[in-house]
A and B are shown apart, each in its own frame.
Chain A
Amino acid sequence: MIVNSKRTQWLAPVAVMLGFAAIEVISAHAEIPLGERRSGYADLAPDTKAMQDDDTANPGMLWVQDGEALWNAKSGAANRACADCHNDARTTMTGVAARYPAFNSKLGRPIDLEQRINLCRVERQQASAFAYESKELLSLSAFIGKQSRGEPIAPPTDERLRPFLEAGLEQFNRRQGQLNLSCGQCHDDNWGKRLAGSLIPQAHPNGYPLYRLEWQAVGSLQRRLRNCIVGMRAEPYDYGAPEYVSLEIYLMWRARGLPIETPAVRP
């Protein structure tokens, strides 16, 4: 890891100010200063911004619409809908997506929003879990995510998450793959520059699940992470692997305060 001494100087007072448990780990690394953090939205072309801003032009809203239908549909042996326990998602789900992944005491490990949905499916509805990247899981997570639109990312200050946050940070800065690259080499050190014709974003997870024009569909954060790992010519983990969850925890912590944009549109 390359440590830029100029960039680490400012971190000491900030670390004290924030007082978050993992800060001393972070301070060893050249992170993007909080004031310079910005959503990928800021770098979109005007056309793509317009697409995201208008709910009748944003194709991600098609998934949100399907997710709302699923939210209210009775399912499984328990013949129960999400709405039967959680009532109106418009009030009960506000801010939920902004604080996941969260620690699950029963499992003894953190889970992301998709895994939380599937836990409810299996335990409360007594139905089969949705497959990763299935239309159903994407629709429900897009619908739940949308209820947090505009809410700042607020990772839980849960001491039990600390080892997973540290693992995520380590993964983010670990060189991997045939190209021997780390996430941080692009997204911390070179954001705003170009890789071939494409802009290197800061890689914040605040719009997921999002509609990617390249995919012509909505996809999850894990799908995006797999893309990046393949791009480094490394072997991606299977969907649902704990490595993705720890990386998600770190990415959410790194993007703390940025507003949720689900369902965002990206090129």
Chain B
Amino acid sequence: MASALINVPKKAKFGDVIEIKTLISHIMETGFRHSTTGVPIPRDIITSFVCTYNNEEIFRAVLYPAIAANPFFIFTTIATESGTIEFTWQGDNGFLATASATITVE
């Protein structure tokens, strides 16, 4: 049940700076911990996050074990044209999650 919460303004004026917020559900297990019986718990983290605006990459992040569970990103971009903003999270054990939002630029 990987779920994400996305906050992108539905409408913006051309040239406006818009704020984008994303929150994804993930345990971000560091790989440095051991279970109560001493068995190492394997690393399970999100390793990359990419955001594209009409297929053009506008934001990318590389994640490491020190990032807390349920990573939250806020970043900004300039509203240039109407279209789709897509988000992709990739990680260990073949983790892949995607989400998208549409924006109308006037």
Q: Which chain A residues lie closer than 8 Å to B25 at the CB level?
A: 59, 62, 66
Q: Which of B23, B24, B27, B69 contacts A57 (CB 8 A)?
A: B23
**Nearest Cβ in chain B — how far from A82, in angstroms?**
16
Residues of B45-61 contacting chain A, CB below 8 A: none
CB pair A65 B21 closer than 8 Å:
no
CB pair A59 B1 closer than 8 Å:
no
B64 contacts the other chain (CB 8 A): no
Q: Which chain B residues lie closer than 8 Å to A105 at the CB level?
A: none
B7 contacts the other chain (CB 8 A): yes
B12 contacts the other chain (CB 8 A): no
Chain B interface extent, by class: 10 to 19
Given A57-B72, A216-B68, residue A66 in contact with residue B1 (CB < 8 A): yes
B69 (CB) vs chain A CBs: closest residue: A216
Interface centre among B3, B24, B69 (most CB of A within 10 A): B3
Q: Which chain A residues lie closer than 8 Å to B103 at the CB level?
A: none
The distance in angstroms between the C-alpha atoms of A135 and B25, with both chains bound, is 12
B63 contacts the other chain (CB 8 A): no
A69 contacts the other chain (CB 8 A): yes
Number of interface residues of A (CB under 8 A): 15
Q: Which chain A residues lie closer than 8 Å to B105 at the CB level?
A: none
Given A56-B23, A57-B21, residue A62 in contact with residue B3 (CB < 8 A): yes
Q: Which chain B residues lie closer than 8 Å to A59 at the CB level?
A: 23, 25, 69-70, 72
The distance in angstroms between the C-alpha atoms of A59 and B23, with both chains bound, is 7
The distance in angstroms between the C-alpha atoms of A57 and B1, with both chains bound, is 19
Q: Mark B1-14, 1 if CB is under 8 A from A, else 0.
A: 10111110000000
The distance in angstroms between the C-alpha atoms of A59 and B1, with both chains bound, is 14
Residues of B63-97 contacting chain A, CB below 8 A: 68-70, 72
Residues of B1-49 contacting chain A, CB below 8 A: 1, 3-7, 21, 23-25, 27-28
Q: Contacts A57-B21, A62-B3 known; list 12 others, CB within 8 Å.
A: A56-B5, A56-B7, A57-B23, A57-B72, A59-B70, A61-B5, A62-B4, A62-B5, A62-B24, A66-B1, A216-B28, A216-B68
A-B contact pairs, 11 of them (CB 8 A): A55-B5, A56-B5, A56-B6, A57-B72, A59-B69, A62-B5, A62-B25, A135-B1, A216-B27, A216-B28, A216-B68
A: which residues have CB within 8 A of B? 54-57, 59, 61-62, 65-66, 69, 135, 139, 213, 216-217
